[in-house]
Chain A
Amino acid sequence: MAYTVTINGETREIDAPEDMPLLWVLRQELGMVGTKFGCGIGMCGACTVHVDGQATRSCSLPIGSVGDRQITTIEHLSQSPVGQALQQAWLDEDVMQCGYCQSGQLMSATALLNRNPNPSETEINSAMQGNICRCACYTRISRAIAQVAAEGTANV
């Protein structure tokens, strides 16, 4: 099947079976490997992208159901002020160990701050609990999000 989807503001033509998850379209049909495979069943968040701004598990989103919704991936994160501030906070806090989960963490964190610029610790926990970090960098992830919230980047 041929599909036309909008990814990071660009129109892309894709020829793939309708039930192929967006994750595998991104990684292996389009060569956009920033979005990661962790579980394939929606349980880890490694594959998180934004669909119309909402954090969405791309491993569980068939290409056939994307329609005309806007897809944003980690490769485009620095285009948003909140995404850029989070990227910097991730470096300042030296958040990561292996780093494999971190594109998904950043996508979830960005979606959180975009809808709630000043989350409480409980709100950070509940927004981020779908993202597993096997290396368990949770303290630092949470601190980096709180730092960006305190800077107020999401309010501008």
Chain B
Amino acid sequence: MFEAGIATSRRSFLKVTALAGGGLTLAASFPMAARAVAGEAAATAELNAFVTINPDNTITIVGKNPEIGQGIKTMLPMLIAEELDADWDQVRIVQGDSNAAKYGPQLAGGSFATPMNWIPMRQTGAAARAMLLAAAAQRWGVPAGELSTEPSVVVHASSGRRATYGELASDAAHVAVPDPASIQLKDGADFRIIGRAIGGIDSPKIVRGEGIFGVDTQLPGMVYAAYERSRVFGARLVSADIEAAKAAPGVINAFTVEGNGNAAELVDGVAIIASNWWLANKARERLNPQWDTGEWAGHSSAKYDADARALMAAGQPQEEFASKGDVDAALASATQVIEGEYSYPFLAHVAMEPMNCTALMREDGVMEMWAPTQIPQGGQASVAAYLGVPQDKVLVHITRMGGGFGRRLNNDYMMQVAAIARRMPGTPVQLIWSREDDVRTDYYRPAGWHKLRAGLDADGKIIGIEDHFVTFDINGGAFNPAAMPADEFPARYVSNVRYAQTKMRTAVPMGALRAPTSNAVAFVFQSFLDEVAHASGRDLPTLLLDIVEGAEPEPSTMGFTGPSAGFDPRRLRAVTRKVMEMANWGQPVAEGRALGFGYYYSHQGYFAEVVEASLTDRNQVAVHNVWCAGDVGAHIINPHGAMNQVEGSIIDGIGQALQLAVEIEGGAAKQSNFNNYQLPRMPMTPVIHAEFVLSDNSPTGLGEPALPPVIPALTNALFALTGKRVRNLPIDTSLFT
């Protein structure tokens, strides 16, 4: 789903052009047709799909991407407003509905929004500005080249004439639409809006308690639904006591729903509809559902762990996915061989707003939906296919979301409510999941196991590295969160490499969790490299700098399919050196504390982080300070949102390292709610010192790349403190006693 959305959009809207330097650039062709409300002199003018100028000089800008808290609804319009030279105080932002033809790709995932939209959104604003200039030139009979703009005003300096955008709007709507690629974009030094710390556009509504999230949707006559499904993954519904549920207080209807054969979309269940969700959910107690669980009830995390350890011990991987040189010979000739087994658990997303969706099967045959989804066009396509109607018969309003973290890249709740609403034409239905539904029926971050070996020569140089990765066969699409990149660092810089994997069978659903793959593999490789560093008498940052010594930038080749600009070791060096300086790396630290380092490159972002940790007298891990240096290009578009993402990612990663795991027992998730899936809380928040290192690259996203390195930075700090190596997540503090 995740990649499918991108692939479709790329075909339709984006040309991926190879640059001379080996990088990639994205050129967009958004629909640019002007659609003015013609007639009176001062009319509202829709200059393109994103920009409407109102006669009162306010400007309405469409935020096209789903807002999950990453600040995109504020940030993409900032790009448009910058090149439009709009007065930001006069800008109103509205959320666009799901509409590929009108808006191009609409996706919250992969930290893709910034690199994909940096140029196209600015071109959109620049094209609208050019139309306003042309309208003024016509009106005043002067060449457009003599005109300039001040915020929301066109100025003819030599005659002193001025006209607001609002005054020019209706004329501008009749001007020929320019080719956006032909318009010169602003020089970065002239930015007025990009780079300004701007608060979230919806924040004033949120502090007043206005209902702007998906689950706040209210429609006349709306009813509420709960969906009972098997806790054991992969099970089919045999029977349920529908009549008993129907007899419960407040219940309006109850019926079974048959899955569509795709566990990523719709699994068997029972829908209960009531006047109040609490009543619908309570009536589930009466269902006494019977499930055919097949073989899956025998599956557990303990079984997977035992099987994985046995597979790693047997040492016969199913397949090699990266191989160069002769690893066996290199390891045989090595002065030292370092070996380590690492593992990490399944994780849930637990977005703060539980999964929900509202749907109305309209009399005109349109399924109208109010959907908190990170990939609305994908949901629209799935629902249309399920209903057997063309996509234009599914109208998806994108709502603000109480978090996403990758969970809402799967639209199972959209499918469920569509399956319910189709049975109740004319009645709006809001499906809500309980938190237990959310934790128990997630698309989890895959658990994984790695057995690593590295051979060092007498100088401490890595001459060979191998990984036996035990993962799951999840039958994924183009994006497989249980896969690992073939060029995982330091593969490019080592002559003899063998990365191989073995896949185990499971019915546990898996998906992308913020910084997918990276959030696990960074821990494994940066911990293992810390072992290598210690074995060769260095510290980890020094080892990394040694590994990339003299290396030149390379184009991205293996594994990553996003708008990748290729790996640049100079950026690794810059963030590593910066964070060492910020954290006073190498200097003595307070008694009882220790520092650890972690670095990772993911989603086009380079992050180096240092954690200062200690153990309390009750043997609990305390994190005091985190220093972070990140390089995401030449501009930090909105410093407010950017820093918020970095801080949130760091705390998120610390929580994962210390206390998060979903365990499978009897084929089902054991954890169920925040009492046994314990998110970080305020008292465990460290002091975070984060800085951006600006580099001469176009800006890339921040939703994810700050997270992965904090986990190994913490476990490496604990090694420095105790001499004990954390090899399994979450951290088991009994290791330190």
- The answer on a CB contact under 8 Å between A96 and B218 is no
- The answer on a CB contact under 8 Å between A100 and B353 is yes
On chain A, the residues within 8 Å of B400 by CB distance are 98-99
B267 on the A face (CB < 8 A): no
Name the CB-closest residue of A to B74. Answer: A94
On chain B, the residues within 8 Å of A134 by CB distance are 350-352, 402-403, 405, 679
B21 on the A face (CB < 8 A): no
On chain B, the residues within 8 Å of A17 by CB distance are 249-250, 279
CA distance A73 to B645 in the complex (A): 29
Per-residue B-contact encoding for A18-59, CB less than 8 Å = 1, 0 else: 001100100011011111111111011010000000000000
Per-residue B-contact encoding for A86-98, CB less than 8 Å = 1, 0 else: 0100110011111
CA distance A55 to B314 in the complex (A): 57
- The answer on a CB contact under 8 Å between B206 and A96 is yes
Pick the contact of B648: A29, A78, A100, A137 (CB < 8 A): A137
On chain B, the residues within 8 Å of A138 by CB distance are 651, 680-682, 685
Looking at B202, B207, B640, B680, the one whose CB has the most chain A CB atoms below 10 A away is B207
Pick the contact of A96: B200, B278, B401, B688 (CB < 8 A): B200
B305 on the A face (CB < 8 A): no
Name the CB-closest residue of A to B212. Answer: A99
- The answer on a CB contact under 8 Å between B683 and A126 is yes
- The answer on a CB contact under 8 Å between B276 and A29 is yes
The 8 A-B pairs with the shortest beta carbon distances in the complex, nearest first, are A34-B209, A100-B402, A98-B69, A74-B209, A136-B651, A97-B69, A33-B211, A43-B674
**With A125-B682, A129-B681 as given contacts, are A24 and B276 in contact (CB-CB < 8 Å)?**
yes
B109 on the A face (CB < 8 A): no
A77 on the B face (CB < 8 A): yes
On chain A, the residues within 8 Å of B209 by CB distance are 32-35, 73-75, 77, 103
- The answer on a CB contact under 8 Å between B688 and A129 is no
- The answer on a CB contact under 8 Å between A41 and B673 is yes
**With A46-B352, A94-B199, A134-B352 as given contacts, are A141 and B682 in contact (CB-CB < 8 Å)?**
yes
- Excluding A87-B208, A139-B687, 11 further A-B contacts by CB distance (< 8 Å) are A24-B276, A33-B218, A36-B352, A94-B197, A94-B200, A94-B203, A94-B641, A102-B207, A135-B352, A135-B403, A138-B685
30 interchain pairs (CB within 8 A)?
A: A20-B279, A28-B275, A36-B213, A36-B215, A37-B354, A39-B673, A40-B673, A43-B673, A46-B352, A87-B207, A94-B199, A94-B203, A94-B644, A97-B200, A97-B644, A97-B648, A98-B68, A99-B400, A100-B69, A100-B213, A102-B207, A103-B207, A103-B209, A131-B682, A133-B352, A134-B403, A134-B405, A139-B687, A139-B688, A140-B647
A66 on the B face (CB < 8 A): no
A60 on the B face (CB < 8 A): no
A16 on the B face (CB < 8 A): yes
Give B687-708 interface residues, CB cut-off 8 Å to A: 687-688
- The answer on a CB contact under 8 Å between B645 and A97 is yes
Looking at B351, B402, B651, the one whose CB has the most chain A CB atoms below 10 A away is B402
A interface SS class:
loop
B179 on the A face (CB < 8 A): no
Name the CB-closest residue of A to B402. Answer: A100
On chain B, the residues within 8 Å of A94 by CB distance are 197, 199-200, 203, 640-641, 644
B224 on the A face (CB < 8 A): yes
B341 on the A face (CB < 8 A): no
On chain B, the residues within 8 Å of A124 by CB distance are 682
On chain A, the residues within 8 Å of B199 by CB distance are 91, 94
- The answer on a CB contact under 8 Å between B648 and A96 is no
B428, chain A: closest CB distance, angstroms: 13
**With A91-B207, A101-B352 as given contacts, are A33 and B216 in contact (CB-CB < 8 Å)?**
yes
Name the CB-closest residue of A to B197. Answer: A94
On chain B, the residues within 8 Å of A6 by CB distance are none
- The answer on a CB contact under 8 Å between B276 and A97 is no
B226, chain A: closest CB distance, angstroms: 12
Pick the contact of A38: B275, B435, B640, B682 (CB < 8 A): B435
- The answer on a CB contact under 8 Å between A136 and B647 is yes
B interface SS class:
loop
On chain A, the residues within 8 Å of B402 by CB distance are 36, 98-101, 134
Per-residue A-contact encoding for B189-228, CB less than 8 Å = 1, 0 else: 0000000010110111011111101011010000010000
CA distance A129 to B679 in the complex (A): 11
CA distance A59 to B279 in the complex (A): 14
A147 on the B face (CB < 8 A): no
Pick the contact of B680: A24, A35, A128, A136 (CB < 8 A): A136
On chain A, the residues within 8 Å of B645 by CB distance are 97
**With A31-B218, A41-B435 as given contacts, are A98 and B403 in contact (CB-CB < 8 Å)?**
yes
- The answer on a CB contact under 8 Å between A137 and B403 is no
B101, chain A: closest CB distance, angstroms: 28
A132 on the B face (CB < 8 A): yes
CA distance A14 to B203 in the complex (A): 31
Name the CB-closest residue of A to B651. Answer: A136
- The answer on a CB contact under 8 Å between A132 and B353 is no
On chain A, the residues within 8 Å of B683 by CB distance are 125-126, 129
- The answer on a CB contact under 8 Å between B674 and A99 is no
- The answer on a CB contact under 8 Å between B651 and A39 is no
Name the CB-closest residue of A to B639. Answer: A94
B70 on the A face (CB < 8 A): yes
**With A38-B354, A97-B648, A142-B682 as given contacts, are A16 and B276 in contact (CB-CB < 8 Å)?**
yes
CA distance A124 to B685 in the complex (A): 12
- The answer on a CB contact under 8 Å between B675 and A137 is no
B663 on the A face (CB < 8 A): no
- The answer on a CB contact under 8 Å between B206 and A102 is yes
**With A44-B674, A129-B681 as given contacts, are A135 and B648 in contact (CB-CB < 8 Å)?**
yes
Name the CB-closest residue of A to B676. Answer: A43
- The answer on a CB contact under 8 Å between B674 and A136 is no
A106 on the B face (CB < 8 A): yes
A105, chain B: closest CB distance, angstroms: 9
On chain A, the residues within 8 Å of B404 by CB distance are 98
CA distance A43 to B648 in the complex (A): 20
On chain A, the residues within 8 Å of B405 by CB distance are 134
B3 on the A face (CB < 8 A): no
On chain B, the residues within 8 Å of A141 by CB distance are 682
- The answer on a CB contact under 8 Å between B644 and A34 is no
A28, chain B: closest CB distance, angstroms: 5
